[in-house]
Amino acid sequence: MTLANKQQAAVTAAMPASLSAAVAAYRWARDSIGESGAAVYRLQGRNGAPDLYLKHGMDVAAADISDEAARLRWLAQYCPVPAVVQFARVTDPDQAWLLTAALPGKTASELLEANPALGPAVVDALAAFLRRLHALPVSECSFDAGSAVRLAQARQRIDAGLVDAADFDAGRQGWTPQHVWAALQDCQPITPDLVVTHGDFSLENIVMHEGAVVGCLDVGRAGVADRYQDLAIVWRALGELDAGLQQRFVEQYGLLDIDQGKLQFHLLLDELF
């Protein structure tokens, strides 16, 4: 048995029967983008059936997958996200599986990597989608992703040794998680401007097709938070490509200027996730 087959067997071993039937006869391919502690597989080739994605995780990752399933179902009422085909979670050991429909198209990151000239069009589509997301009714969203919640989660991750300091941004290479935590304390308090946020609005998590955003991925951190939770992530990503794209995004989103203090706070916070 190959390593890939062993991995597939381990993922399917404790699946409920209905989920096992749903993934039967597909070819599996591991997808390393945006895993966030879980294993992600693209499922293809089942007698012309639509492609699917399967996310599997244990312990902390299982809880994250449960969070994502709940948020996908809520967001589906308002904006394009992958449809939940099935979700299952079992104990002993604690593990979860999330099966979703594949979206058409490519991520914004893939499009810009293949053709940088698409930058302005991609930025305009991203800004339009984020305006739409941030206009969702806060009163209808029960998921709290505000700074108090995120800081508590960050502290737990530091204490559990889950923060990867090697993955810090270039300007913070050599820092420890404790250095980041101390810097965060110096940034507070931040007066929030609460909206429904994606939570990790990176170029890898936005899928586009024929010039429009057709869905967002990895929504396990979605919830009510300051709008800069999303703005900071996409600002950083665009700045790695072209400062002109940053300014275009800000204008298309509808800001007169960017709040550097909020940017710094949310970029620091993101280092701990």
Please give the positions annotated as active site: 200
Amino acid of residue 151: L
Question: Tokens for 160?
Answer: 């559990």
Which of 163, 10, 167, 18 lies closest to 88, judged by CA? 18
Residue 164 neighbours by CB distance under 10 Å: 12
Q: Are 197 and 230 in contact (CB under 8 A)?
A: yes
How many whole angstroms separate alpha carbon 71 and alpha carbon 55? Answer: 15
Residue holding tokens 């062993």? 6
User: CA geometry: angle at 142 spanning 140 and 143, to 5°?
Assistant: 130
From the number of C-beta atoms within 10 Å of its C-beta (0-12, 13-18, 19+), residue 13 rates as exposed
CA dihedral 30, 34, 36, 40 (to 10 degrees): -20
